[in-house]
Amino acid sequence: MDVNPIVLSIPIFAVLIIIEVIIQWVNKRKLYRLNDAVTNINCGITQQISGIFLKLFALGIYQFIFEHWAIWQIPTNWYTLILLFVATDFAYYWAHRMSHEINLFWSAHVVHHQSEDYNLSVALRQSSFQTIWTSIFFFPLAIIGFNTLDFALMAALTTLYQFWIHTELIGKLGFIEYIFVTPSHHRVHHGRNPKYIDKNHGGTFIIWDKLFGTYQKEEEQPTYGVTTPINSWNPVWANFVHFKVMWKEMKRMPRFADKINYVFYKPGWLPANLGGYRPAQAVNRTTYAKYETVVSKKINSYVFFQFLSILAFTTWFLFNQAQLALLLKAGAAVLIMITAITAGGMFEMKKWVHWAEKFRLMAVLAIGAALGFFEMANMWVLILVANYYIISKIWLTLALKTTTNE
């Protein structure tokens, strides 16, 4: 069973999101949109699934550095763990800041900023590639002598702290604002208003921003999202869209040196012959409108059912994937990714989604049968999967028929 603190916290995340949704209903506020929230969480799902295969990359290098180049062997006790937590948060500040100031790193981190809403589901909107670019900032901790297990735990706790700050329901918190990152600080960080961009990078402690000149207090209401909206509910495409932008812009640059500069300079940079740096433009709140698509209630309810189903399966998978055969593990991971993609396709009613969803249901039936018959030898798994397939097939047919008739 996976003992990753983030995986263990999934039920807590779910409860807190449900509470926030209930509060918005009671207060008659619109903090959530189904398509946006599902896409946010699906980005988190794809990040966790890809992380199964990528997390050994960063931790493996960290362990190698610790074994071969550590200056000291720091013991594990309460005060060294506190020191490591602070040091991890300091390293996180620089990793996060550079994710905004280096175009290549931004290509991954941009995923977290794409949502135009701001609620707890946004905390789960994470990039599948982030660890590849930013893990280097944590390697000095291995050289100092903090062991890999302690570092992994503190890094997870730093990440968990940041969940609760993704909300509009909590205002300013008085003296806490002087030391810790709060929802008010992080709302600024997610704002696309020019004065808010690239501010408040801290994970747990806001003092890093105050020390290094990146602090901005919350003043006017932020407009959330990125300066060039993604305009898609596809969580996998969300991870690649900035790479496409980079490729198109680099093709316009005849000089190789400019291409290199473009990769490592600040997002928005262009060489002088193409116009130079493009600063963020002020948001016109009278004409600004969030990206939105409209589908029938039957389609929305069908996607929500599939989302709940795959969320339950993903939770089970993350807890039990270590015990699965590699081929079956890979098949289940791909199936989860495809489900996330088709959910976005259904929200946008893409032409390909009809046959893709039918194919996905057949794949669920096949992989579910393999799990139940070969891996777990459990007839109840087969019955559950068969019933899921039948219900989904009928529901999909009725939903698509209704959409066609409309």
What is the residue range of 327's domain?
Answer: 297-405
- Residues in contact with 195: Cβ distance below 8 Å, sequence separation at least 6, in sequence order: 216, 219
Mean pLDDT of 146-150: 97
Radius of gyration of the chain (CA): 22
Whether residue 192 is found in the same domain as residue 315: no
Mean pLDDT of 241-257: 96
Is 365 contained in some domain?
Answer: yes
Centre a 10 Å sphere on the Cβ of residue 230 and count the other Cβ atoms it contains: 20
- Residues in contact with 245: Cβ distance below 8 Å, sequence separation at least 6, in sequence order: 228
DSSP result, 56-76:
HHHHHHHHHHHHHH-S-----
Query: Among 212, 246, 274, which residue terminates a domain?
Result: 212
Whether residue 51 is found in the same domain as residue 183: yes
Q: How far apart are CA 127 and CA 125, in angstroms?
A: 7
* Beta carbons of 136 and 164 less than 8 angstroms apart: no
What is the sign, positive or negative, of the torsion defined by CA atoms of 159, 160, 166, 171? negative
The proportion of the chain whose per-residue pLDDT surpasses 70, expressed as a percent, equals 97
pTM of the model: 0.93
Would you place residue 41 in the very low, low, confident or very high pLDDT band (cuts 50, 70, 90)?
A: very high
pLDDT at residue 26, as a whole number: 95
The proportion of the chain whose per-residue pLDDT surpasses 90, expressed as a percent, equals 79
Phi, psi dihedral angles at 315 (to 5 degrees): -60, -45
Amino acid letter for position 100: H
Query: Among 212, 236, 266, which residue terminates a domain?
Result: 212
Lowest mean pLDDT across 60-74, 85-99, 276-290 = 276-290
What is residue 219's three-state secondary structure?
A: coil
3 pLDDT exceeds 60? no
Q: How far apart are CA 19 and CA 133, in angstroms?
A: 34
Would you place residue 403 in the very low, low, confident or very high pLDDT band (cuts 50, 70, 90)?
A: low
Query: Among 212, 242, 261, which residue terminates a domain?
Result: 212
Whether residue 68 is found in the same domain as residue 181: yes
Structure tokens at 342: 């088709």
pLDDT at residue 1, as a whole number: 46
Is 275 contained in some domain?
Answer: no
User: Looking at the 3D structure of the chain, how many domains does it have?
Assistant: 2
How does pLDDT run across 70-90, given as a tens digit for each residue? 999 999 999 999 999 999 999
Q: On the CB side of 367, how many CA atoms lie within 13 Å of its CA?
A: 21
* Beta carbons of 116 and 16 less than 8 angstroms apart: no
Is 181 contained in some domain?
Answer: yes
What is residue 49's three-state secondary structure?
A: helix
Whether residue 44 is found in the same domain as residue 192: yes
Residue the block writes with tokens 């747990």:
204
How does pLDDT run across 47-58, given as a tens digit for each residue? 999 888 776 788
